[in-house]
């Protein structure tokens, strides 16, 4: 059987799409995040994450502390 490889950037893009899916469950998103983080750390490519825009109060200021919604969903992430 031939070996195949996939670029880490492609895995990250796919995972970010899955994490943003409106019909995904928190459990599924947590599993995706855990898998993605293990790949990113193992390949020394972890660059952090931010919470999706849906988890911020209006106006959404990405660089201002204290702007997350009180009941934000920790699994709604976007990885760099």
> Prior bond to 59 cis, omega within 30?
yes
Give me the pLDDT at residue 70, please: 83
Domain spans, the chain: 8-79
Q: Which residues contact 24 (CB under 8 A, 6 or more apart)?
A: 18
Q: Yes or no: say if 33 and 75 are a contact pair by the CB < 8 Å rule.
A: yes
Does residue 65 carry a pLDDT above 60? Answer: no
Q: Say what the pTM is.
A: 0.83
SS3 category, 77: strand
Distances (CA, A) of 38 to 7, 17, 29, 57, 73: 15, 18, 14, 30, 21
Give me the pLDDT at residue 64, please: 56
């Amino acid at each position: 059987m031939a070996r195949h490889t996939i670029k880490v950037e492609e895995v990250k893009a796919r995972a970010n799409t899955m994490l943003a899916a409106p019909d995904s469950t928190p459990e599924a998103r947590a599993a995706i995040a855990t898998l993605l983080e293990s790949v990113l750390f193992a390949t020394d490519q972890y660059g952090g994450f931010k919470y999706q825009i849906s988890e911020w109060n209006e106006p959404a200021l990405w660089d201002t502390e204290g702007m997350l919604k009180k009941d934000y969903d920790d699994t709604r992430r976007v990885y760099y």
